[in-house]
Structure 1
Amino acid sequence: MASRATLLVVFSSRLLVLLLLTGESWAADIESVRIAPDKKEFVLFPSGSRYTPWGHNYASVDLLKRLAQNDARVEREFAEMKAAGATVARIHPEMPRILTAPGKADPQALDQLKRLLQLAENSGIHLQITGLACYKIEDRQAWYDGMDEQDRWKTQAFFWETIAQTCAESPAVFAYDLVNEPVAFGKRAEGWYTGRMGGVEFCQRLSLDPGNRTGDDVFREWTKRMVAAIRKHDQTHLITMGMLPFPGVYTAAAEELDFVSPHLYPKSEKVDDEIKLLQKFDWGKPIVIGETFPLSCGADDERAFLLKSRGYAHGWIGHWPDKSPAELAELKRAGRATIQDAIWLSWVDLFQEIGPQMIGETSK
């Protein structure tokens, strides 16, 4: 295994080449993504070449704000991700920035989304666009959270119509990710959101008034409605949903999806347990692990999980750090890296190290 210093030199050299090519001359000949004829993998259209989603969740809670305030930073970070070997970035454009009122979208936010599409097309990185993100509690809109279920679903469908209409013509879109880690229903007193981490909540409930409906009923009805909203404007790009590690919850939703996207974080010395869990998401459709990271294990266990998962998954998306890989490596060299910095650097190192194996032919 190469040392971190060696990896940094390689990374810096690749990044320099990319940065020297930025601008119009950097535009990549990016192709659209389709489901392969075997219904298990992905291919590029029209070439038919095999495509493997291998990348990162990027700027999960402040994407459009970051782009508006520092476009150059976002462009640089796309170059860094590409230099590290990424083929996909999962992005989370915040719903409170996209919609300003019921049935009304912010033109400036849509322009920023178009800018992201341009960056993706230029870099050769496809985008998995996650919708309905209301993660930051302080940014939520009272008019939206005060709606009843049907008006809320109508607004969510309008969001997806707006996104699909904006993105339909871009070959850089890998997939629309309907919502991050949804729960079918909860009690009204619990509110629409759950999964709190500090000042953000990453999960949403689809209904607070399920009546006689089961969880399957709610998921099936809601997913059909969101898919129909997208298909009004975009008949080709793929559709998925970010799933918690509870496969039984999402079987009805999966009926309407092009591929499934569980979020799996292996635990120390329990890699085989996570592989068994992954297998339960095999519903005859491609699987892309939409989130993974050495959060509850070390880099060795994460490596083992990723390599063992290749027989079942056909795409993997980790998390990109806010600090650049070069900055993390310098902090490590200077002895000033925090434990968190060290974890992030271990992930970037691992991502670069095994990237060729992950993007190569899959095998059990």
Structure 2
Amino acid sequence: MRDQVETRGWPLSPSILATLTVAMLATTAALATPPEPAAMPRIRVSDDGERFVAADSGRVFVPWGFNYLGKFEHLAEDDWDTPEGWRKVEDDCREMKRLGANVVRWHLQFETFMDGPDAPDAAQVGRLKDLLKLARANGLYLDLTGLNCFRLKRIPKWYDDLAEADRWKAQARFWEAVAGACAGDSVVFCYDLMNEPVMGDPGPNDHPWVGGELGGFHFVQRISNKIAGRDFKDIAEAWVKTLVDAIRRHDQETPITVGVIPWALVWPGAKPVFYAPQVLKHLDFVSVHFYPAPGRIEKEMTALAVYDLGKPLVVEETFPLGCTVADFDKFVDAASPRVDGWIAHYFGHTAAEHRAGARPTEPPVAEFLEFWAKKKSTVVGR
């Protein structure tokens, strides 16, 4: 019995042939397996408290990207459990990266993640972990904004019925679940406690907790709807501390902020409530939402200065909603000396798709997306 195999004139023993076969199979498997994405350094606030830096190198990091809900008038979380829905998220992440984004602000819906006051949905928390992997694969950091109740019909009745203290406990449980899933993952740029929180007694025809309706979504939420003579700053501090403590039980590193309406733009001279000194000490940086308008750039810069408080300042929502792209460009140039990060909007369609009729068609979204991709080099650098 021969103990060698003739191959192209060279005798190969069975053991050598087996070794070569294993090596070839391993090489084939390696080629079929996508390479691991490059490591993403954790982003932190610099030691002097004035900017963001990469934790490993100290290199300055300027957040630049998009708010993302999914395609227009739709929430990605509605169908991110389906193959088609998840493919859409994958496609949009690639497109946002192509447009120059390094950060995507994702609005986590309360009802997606909570089945009861103390009952996070384990499957949805698992899907959040998938989102972290997807973001890393595209080199995108995540601004995870929580507690959203954008659609009235989806807000659980049990949640609306909770008194303030119990509502805060449910919100803290939400953040514990999110932070527990994300702790140790450097792809999370920050946690934003809530989008545009407010305080005040609702009117007779108002929803008890949410308002700010736009396009069928409610973007503003009360943290207290019975003030009862309390100081707004005291309420804000107690609420912020409750949620920050919940996050820090699981994640000691990721920066925390809260995205606010710049009331100083509405009422000149108004002082921040969620960024009053007693509240700011619990937060790592300042986030404000600015939508510039023609002819008021001086007023906008005066309002922006109110939020320049010795910590990094991010314009976390912005878009030429009521102005031209040219006007918007002037706003960015005027604000950039104060601002440490910019997050605009992506509506789930490419510039070409918007030009072909994808909504919204006004304002000129296609023109804006092309502008935003180019503007990064002058504000952030390459």
Q: TM-score, length-normalised on structure 1?
A: 0.87
> Any idea what the Cα deviations from partners look like across 1:181-206, whole Å, max 9, x if unmatched?
01123247441111112422111111
User: Quick one: distance in 2 between partners of 1:255 and 1:146?
Assistant: 31
My pick for the range that moved more, 219-228 or 62-71, is 62-71
- Contact 1:66 1:74 (C-alpha < 8 Å) held by counterparts: no
1:125 paired with 2:146, answer: no
1:344 paired with 2:354, answer: no
Q: Secondary structure at the match of 2:309?
A: coil
User: Quick one: distance in 2 between partners of 1:251 and 1:239?
Assistant: 13
User: Which residue of 2 is the match for residue 221 of structure 1?
Assistant: 238
- Contact 1:178 1:241 (C-alpha < 8 Å) held by counterparts: yes
1:32 to 42, 49, 53: 42
- Contact 1:62 1:94 (C-alpha < 8 Å) held by counterparts: no
1:169 paired with 2:184, answer: yes
1:264-283 matches, within 5 Å, as 264-283=290-309
Matched to 1:47, the amino acid is: S
User: Quick one: distance in 2 between partners of 1:23 and 1:279?
Assistant: 50
User: How much identity, in percent, do the aligned residues show?
Assistant: 35
- Contact 2:135 2:187 (C-alpha < 8 Å) held by counterparts: yes
User: Which residue of 2 is the match for residue 360 of structure 1?
Assistant: 381
User: Quick one: distance in 2 between partners of 1:212 and 1:22?
Assistant: 65
My pick for the range that moved more, 231-240 or 31-40, is 31-40
Matched to 2:372, the amino acid is: F
1:98-247 matches, within 5 Å, as 98-187=113-202, 189=204, 190=206, 191-247=208-264
User: Which residue of 1 is the match for residue 281 of structure 2?
Assistant: 255
User: Which residue of 2 is the match for residue 67 of structure 1?
Assistant: 80
1:90 paired with 2:94, answer: no
> Any idea what the Cα deviations from partners look like across 1:308-341, whole Å, max 9, x if unmatched?
2111010000000222223224x2xxxx577725
**Cα 1:28/1:245, change in 2 over 3 Å:** same
User: Quick one: distance in 2 between partners of 1:57 and 1:22?
Assistant: 33
Matched to 2:146, the amino acid is: G
- Contact 1:240 1:257 (C-alpha < 8 Å) held by counterparts: yes
Give, in angstroms, the shift of residue 235 of structure 1. Answer: 0.2
User: Quick one: distance in 2 between partners of 1:266 and 1:22?
Assistant: 48
My pick for the range that moved more, 276-285 or 22-31, is 22-31
Give, in angstroms, the shift of residue 23 of structure 1. Answer: 7.6
User: Which residue of 1 is the match for residue 95 of structure 2?
Assistant: 80
User: Quick one: distance in 1 between partners of 2:32 and 2:144?
Assistant: 23
**Cα 1:140/1:23, change in 2 over 3 Å:** farther
How many residues are paired up?
336
Q: Secondary structure at the match of 2:313?
A: coil
Gap regions ≥5 residues in structure 1 = 1-20
Give, in angstroms, the shift of residue 161 of structure 1. Answer: 0.8
Give, in angstroms, the shift of residue 26 of structure 1. Answer: 6.2
Q: Which has the higher strand share?
A: 2
Matched to 1:291, the amino acid is: E
User: Which residue of 1 is the match for residue 68 of structure 2?
Assistant: 58
2:54 to 44, 48, 53: 44
Q: Give the alignment's Cα RMSD to 1 decimal.
A: 2.0
Matched to 1:286, the amino acid is: P
Matched to 2:44, the amino acid is: R
My pick for the range that moved more, 52-61 or 350-359, is 52-61
Give, in angstroms, the shift of residue 211 of structure 1. Answer: 2.1
**Cα 1:194/1:339, change in 2 over 3 Å:** closer
User: Quick one: distance in 2 between partners of 1:47 and 1:282?
Assistant: 26
**Cα 1:94/1:22, change in 2 over 3 Å:** farther
My pick for the range that moved more, 22-31 or 186-195, is 22-31
- Contact 1:265 1:293 (C-alpha < 8 Å) held by counterparts: yes
1:309 paired with 2:322, answer: no
**Cα 1:165/1:338, change in 2 over 3 Å:** closer
Q: Secondary structure at the match of 1:161?
A: helix
Gap regions ≥5 residues in structure 2 = 1-30, 265-270
User: Quick one: distance in 2 between partners of 1:232 and 1:359?
Assistant: 34
Give, in angstroms, the shift of residue 357 of structure 1. Answer: 1.2
Q: Which runs of 4+ in 1 moved over 4 A?
A: 336-339
User: Quick one: distance in 1 between partners of 2:292 and 2:363?
Assistant: 18
**Cα 1:159/1:338, change in 2 over 3 Å:** closer
Give, in angstroms, the shift of residue 129 of structure 1. Answer: 0.4
User: Quick one: distance in 2 between partners of 1:188 and 1:158?
Assistant: 29
Matched to 1:251, the amino acid is: Y
Q: TM-score, length-normalised on structure 2?
A: 0.83
- Contact 1:28 1:123 (C-alpha < 8 Å) held by counterparts: no
User: Quick one: distance in 2 between partners of 1:178 and 1:116?
Assistant: 19
Q: Which has the larger radius of gyration?
A: 2
Q: Secondary structure at the match of 1:67?
A: coil
